[in-house]
Structure 1
Amino acid sequence: MDVHHIPPAAIARKTRSPLSEPALLSDALMLAGAFAFEMGEDGHLDPANRDALAHNLVEMPDMFSTAASDWEARLGPDDVRARRAALSRLTFVGARYKLDYVVRDGMGEHRHFREIAEAMACADGRATLIRGVLLDRTGEASRNAAIAWRARHDPLTRLPNRSCLDAAAVQLSALSIRTGVPAYLLRVRIGNWRRYVDTYGEEIGDQLLGEVGHRLRAASLAPDMAFRLGGADFAIGSLTGDLEDLATSLEILLGGQPVHTAMGALPLDIDIASVRLGALRDALDATRAVLEDDLDYGSRTPQSQPIDIDQLLRDDRITLAFQPIVHAKTGALHHYECLLRLRLPDGRIESAYKVILAAEQSGQVTQLDRRALDLALPFLKDDGDVRLALNVSAGTIADEAASAAYIASLTALGSDAARITIEMTETLALDDPALASSFAAAVRALGCAFAVDDFGSGHTSFRNLLAVEADSIKIDGSLVAGVATDENKQAFIRMMVDLAATFSVQTVAEMVEDHADAIVLARIGVDYLQGYYYGRPVPAPSWPRLSPDAKKTVET
C-alpha cells in the first residue's frame, strides 16, 4: 500500500511545537530554567522572555536592564574578564563558547549561570549577531558542591577524609623543604573507643568521635591539618620543630578533658604513632604507612622493603616502553618518548616509578639513566627514521663522572645523535640553571635536541628556560587534561605557547586523552601532542610509516 508523504512544513503549520514557534521554544526552555537570548555588537542581552528572566533574578520587570554594563555589574571582576574574552573569540560564524559564572540577583544573593552561545553573523573578525541560552544552575551547583564536600570530608567530624591525605602530605613536604622546619604525619587512635561502643552503643561512639573532630578543628592552625581516617583513627599533618612536644599537646588536647555524655564523663585514651615527611619523594610512602597503619606506636621510623637496584639490572628486569608524540595539526608521528618499565617475575610489565624513587634515594639513578640509553640504542641503529626522547635525571647531570660517561655514549652515535631528544625535569632547570645549561650545551653540540619536561608543574621562569637553551618544553599533563572545557587552562597554555614562540621554543602537550582536547590544543598553537588518545606506551616503536613526500611535508 502506498503511504502518502506529508512534507514537514505542512505538519509544522498544523501543529504547535517548540521547534516551529519561537515563543513556545522559549517557554519550553524556561521550564528547564533556561532563557534564550540574542545579542548584537553592543553587548545588550535581548532575552526571548524578558519578564521571566527578571522574575528569576528577583527584579521588577520595569526596572530590569540587560544592557552590557548593567549585566556586567552583576558579575564579579574575574567573571567579567572571562566573559569578555569568550566574546572576543567569536571571530567566525559557528564559533561557540560555554561559560560558567555567578550573577548577583535583586536580593543580593548569588546565582550560578551557564551561558552557551554561538556566533550567527560576523564582520571584520568579530561577531555581529550572537544567539544563546542562559541556564540557571544554582541548584545543580549547590548539589555538586555538597557532593564534592562529602567526597572529601567525613560528615560526622567534618574533617577532611583519607582521600585528602596524599596531597596534604606533599604540600607539607614542599613547605618543610622551603622553610627548613621538619614536617610530620601522626596517626592518632582513640584506644578505648571500641570498648565504649560495645558498652554504650553506636550513638555514644559517634558523640565521642564528633567531639574529637571538634577539638582538632578548633586547634588546627594552617599549615597544620587534621583528617579522619576511619573508625577511631585520625591523622595530623604538622610543620613543627619538636615532635615530642606536638605529641604531648595532642594527648592533652584530646585526652586531657573527658567527653560529657548521657552515660557520664568518658575519658579518652590517646595512642600516637608518627612518621617524618622528608623529601618530596618520601611523602607518598609516608602516607601509605599511615593509611595502612604500618607504624609501630611509639616508633618514629616505619620500615619499608628495600629495592635492590643492582639485582634488577643484573636480572634484566628494567626495560623500555615507547609512547608516540605527534604533530598537533597533522597527527603524524614525530618521535617517541622512552619510558622506564619494570618486568615482574611472572613476566608482567608495570611502571618503574617505585624503582626510580628507590634509585634516587640510594644514589643509583645514574645507572637507570645509562640503562635507558643502552636499551634505546639498538632501536636507533635498526631504524634510520626513528627519533627517540630520553629522560635524564638530576643525579646524572650533577654527577661529573656519570655526566661525562653519558655524553661519551651520545658522542659515539655520531650523526645518529641528531635523532635523540634529551628531556630534563623542570625542577632541575629551577634548582640549578647553570648546571642544567652546561649539560644542555654539551648534548646540543652533538646534535641532540633538548627539552624541559613537566613545564608548568613548578615555578620555572622563562629566564631559566633561556638559560638552558631548550628546544622544546613539555606542558605538564595537569594543565592539559580537560582543557577543551576549561577556559582558565586554555588561557594559561595560550600564554605559554606565545612566550615559547617568542623564544623560538616548541611546545609538547602531555596527557592528551580525547579528541576535544586535541582539537583545542592544536587551535591554541601547541606544536606536538602526547597521550593515550594517540597511543599508550608499547614495548617497541610502532606507527604507520609516511611516504617520502608526506614526510617532507610534515617536517617542514
Structure 2
Amino acid sequence: MPASGPDAAEILRSIGDAAYHWQLDTDVLSWTGNAAALLGVDAAEIVSGAAYARRVAVEGGQSRVDAIARSSQRDGGEGVAYQVQYAFKCGDEAIWVEDTGRWFAGPDGRPHHAHGLIRRIDERHEAERRLTQLAKFDPLTGELNRPYLNEVLAATVEEVVRFRESCGFLLISIDHLGRLNEAYGFDVTEEVIAQVAKRIRARLRGKDHLGRFSGNKFGAVLTRCTPDELAVAAERLLAGVRDEPIVTAAGPVAVTVTIGGVTAPRHARSVAEVVSRALDALHGARTKRYGSFAAYRPNIERDAMRRESVRATDEIVSALNDRRIALAFEPVVETAGREVAFYECLMRVYRPDGAIAHANEIIPIAEQVGLVRMVDYRVLELVVAELASEPVLKASVNVSPASTVDPDWWTCLAGLLRTNSGVAERLIIEITETAAIQDIDDARGFVTRVKDLGCRIAIDDFGAGHTSFRNLRKLGVDIVKIDGAFVQNIVKSADDRAFVHTLIDLTRRLGLKTVAEWVQDEQAAAVLAGFGCDYLQGALIGLANIDRPWVRTSANTACG
C-alpha cells in the first residue's frame, strides 16, 4: 500500500492558509485547526459568522458578508465565487486577510452556505498601500500629487455646481525658489518645500485639500468657500509662511509665497478653467508684489486676446499643414550704383480666402504660442529651395531668438546646406540686435557656427538695443542693418543724423558692411551716401513682393 500523505489541514497549515465552512442558516462557522493561530485569536471567538464579522474593521475593505449578501449574481448550481480583502482585528492591532471562496444557494435561491480559504497578506497589502501612496501623493511633502489633486478638484467643482454652493482654489507659489537653490543647494530647497507644505496644511481646515501642483507651487481646494472666505484663507497662509524663518540644515531661511485664487463656479466651472484662472490671478499678484494675494477678476481685453491667440494658432498650424506659407522678396541695393546686392526674404501666409498675412501679423503670436520654430523651419526650407533653383540669387532670412538655440533648427540648416551645394555662400542669416544682447556669448557662438557653415550673418535693427561697439566687435557679424526708426527721419532730425553717422563711421572702422533700413526718399539716400553707407533698403528702393524680380533681370545685374 502506498504511504499515506498529509491531510488537507496539514497542507493548509504548512502554506499558511486556513479553510472554513459557513452555514448561513445557522451561522455556524467551522475552521481547519490552524485558523485561530493564523488570525491571532482564540478559537471560541470565531465560531459564528456574526462573531467573526465583529472583528472585521469597518473601514478596512469589503468583508465576506458584504461579498455574499450584496452579491448581484445568482447561483446556477456551481456556486458563486468571491474574493475580498479586509482588516481583521486581533487585540489592539489589525492584520490584513485575503478571503477567497464560493457560496451556494438554498432552495429559495438565497445564499445557504459558503466555504473558502483565508490567507494573511500583510506584506502584500503594505506594498500595495505604498504603490497607492506613490500614485496619489507627492513623496516629498506627503500631500496630493497633481493628477490626484485635479481629481479632487474636479469632484469638488462638480459637487458645488450640482448643489449650488461655492468652493475656492488657491495656487500658492514659493517665491524665488531658484535663488534659494543657487544659494543653498537642492537639499535645502527641498527642506523649504516640505516645511512650507506643513505650514500651509496646518492653516487649512480639515475638510480642505492640499496638493503639490508643480516644483514650487501648491494647490489648495477650499470646500464650501465664498469669495470673502477665499481672501481670508489666503491672507492666513501668507502670514503663516512669512512670519517665521524656516529652519534648515543650512540655517534659518526667510521664505514668502505669492497666491492667486479663484472661486467656483462663479468664475470657473471646470478644472481647466479653475487652474487657468488661478494662474492668471497668481501672475497678477506677482506683477503687483511678491508675497501678496490676488483673486481672479474677469478681464474682457485679456479674454479677447486669448481667443485671438487660439484663432491665430489654428491659422498658423493650418498654414503649415496646407503649405500656404510663401516668401516675399525685398531688394537691398548698393548705395552707389543701386544694383541689387541681395533680397531679404520675408514670410507671407496665404489665408484660405486668398488674403495675404504679413510676417508682423504672424510672428509675434507664433513666438507667444511656441510655434515660431516650426515657422522658421518652413521659411528656411523655402529660402534654400529658392537659392538652389536660382544660381543668380543672393538672399537673407530672419531667424527668431528661439531658433538660434534650437538644435533641430541647426540640424535642418546644416542638412539643407549639405544637400544643396553652392547655396551657403549666397545665404545671409539675420538675427535681431535685441536677441543678440540677451546673451552675447550665446550670440557669438551662433555667429561662429553660421559662418563655419559658409554663410554670412547680419545683425538686424541695430541701434534699437543699444549694443556697445565692443560687443559688436566681439560678435563677429558681417553686416549691420541700421534700425529704420533712426533712418526714416534722418533728413529732418539732427539727432538721428548724428546717431546714424556715428554708427556708420564706427561700423566701417570695424570692417563691416552697413544697410540702412526704411529709406523713404532720395534726400535720405543722399545723406546716407555721404555718410558712406554701403546698402539701402526701404520704400525708395522697392517694397517686398511675392514675384521673383531677378527672373526679369539679367544675370549680371540681378544680385550683384
Q: Report the TM range for the smaller structure's normalisation.
A: 0.3 to 0.5
Which one has the largest radius of gyration?
Answer: 2
Q: TM-score, normalised by structure 2?
A: 0.44
